[in-house]
Structure 1
């Protein structure tokens, strides 16, 4: 069974709005390494639609994008992408698959079928999966910013405190820190 790793950009005040993170070569390299090390991506519908509205065009070479950005888009295009949704079942972006029905069962099956692990990149979905005790590791990129607005990490709350064990902390040149934790069981 592969690990389910939740990875997201977050500001010091817990904001997970994707526009608040620092998008530079160093952060792209980090997320490329995470994606390369995983067997599949897992998103909620909203995150999928945000990604689908931008990255396929970059992968095709539509418009101007630096080579490193286009390379990332091409890798993302090839990566298996799983989408949890109760309102949509058609996901035409290359290598996209729907997870419907029972969330716990669907994600357990995905973990079982993906020994290299699954990279989760949706904040709202992470809260639902954390409530089901399905997240094994957390790799959060903490940005040196205070956004002063939401959405925030686990905004809907959890039934109890999650104890974590620090695996590593790595500062980046841009001032962000990669925090890698494992769920303490």
Structure 2
């Protein structure tokens, strides 16, 4: 069974608004490596629509920066699963709707994806965390105070203890942190 890994950018004050981070080549390369290691992507509808509105065009843009285009092209080929109660059609290449009970559907996805699944939707990830389904966390903390939300895992109870696996400092001052769920 593959692991479910939550991966996202966050500011020092917990904001997970994608417009607040430092989106340079090194950051795109980092997330491309994470995606390469996973067998599939998992998103909620809002994140899917955000990604769908931007990345297919970047994949076809010969003038796009190298790291962005590489991410976009690999994302095109990667299986993408979307949890949505309101949308049924997903025309982006290799996109599939997650149906039925969320716990059961994600367990089946983990079972059929031995390389693991990378989830990058804040709201969906909070629901998956409440269900105890996230195995690992890959957070890139940006040296930014956003001063606003949304924030990660707001209202989550009880608190969770994580085990630090590794850290990596990026040149622009971001710190990539790898945690896993602490047993017990």
TM over 0.5: yes
Partner of 1:184: 182
* Structure 1 unmatched ranges of 5 or more: none
Contact 2:17/2:149 (<8 A) preserved: yes
CA separation in 1, counterparts of 2:132 and 2:158?
Answer: 11
Q: TM-score, normalised by structure 2?
A: 0.97
- Cα distance, 1:61 vs structure 2: 2.4
- Cα distance, 1:172 vs structure 2: 1.0
Contact 2:32/2:70 (<8 A) preserved: no
Q: TM-score, normalised by structure 1?
A: 0.96
Partner of 2:64: 65
CA separation in 2, counterparts of 1:164 and 1:68?
Answer: 31
SS at match of 2:180: strand
CA separation in 2, counterparts of 1:149 and 1:67?
Answer: 31
Question: Which structure 1 residue ranges, 4+ long, deviate > 3 Å from structure 2?
Answer: none
- Cα distance, 1:134 vs structure 2: 0.1
SS at match of 2:149: coil
SS at match of 1:54: helix
CA separation in 2, counterparts of 1:131 and 1:146?
Answer: 27
Cα displacement string for residues 104-153 of structure 1 (whole angstroms, at most 9, x for unaligned residues): 01100000000000001001111000000000000000000000000001
Alignment of structure 1 residues 79-118 onto 2, 5 Å:
79-118=78-117
Q: Does residue 48 in structure 1 map to residue 48 in structure 2?
A: yes
Contact 1:4/1:137 (<8 A) preserved: yes
Partner of 2:124: 125
Q: What is the number of equivalent residue pairs in this alignment?
A: 183
CA separation in 2, counterparts of 1:66 and 1:3?
Answer: 31
CA separation in 2, counterparts of 1:69 and 1:169?
Answer: 23
- Cα distance, 1:81 vs structure 2: 0.3
Partner of 1:168: 166
SS at match of 1:77: helix
CA separation in 2, counterparts of 1:104 and 1:142?
Answer: 28
CA separation in 1, counterparts of 2:60 and 2:144?
Answer: 33
* Structure 2 unmatched ranges of 5 or more: none
Contact 1:16/1:151 (<8 A) preserved: yes
- Cα distance, 1:161 vs structure 2: 0.8
CA separation in 1, counterparts of 2:55 and 2:122?
Answer: 19
Partner of 1:159: 157
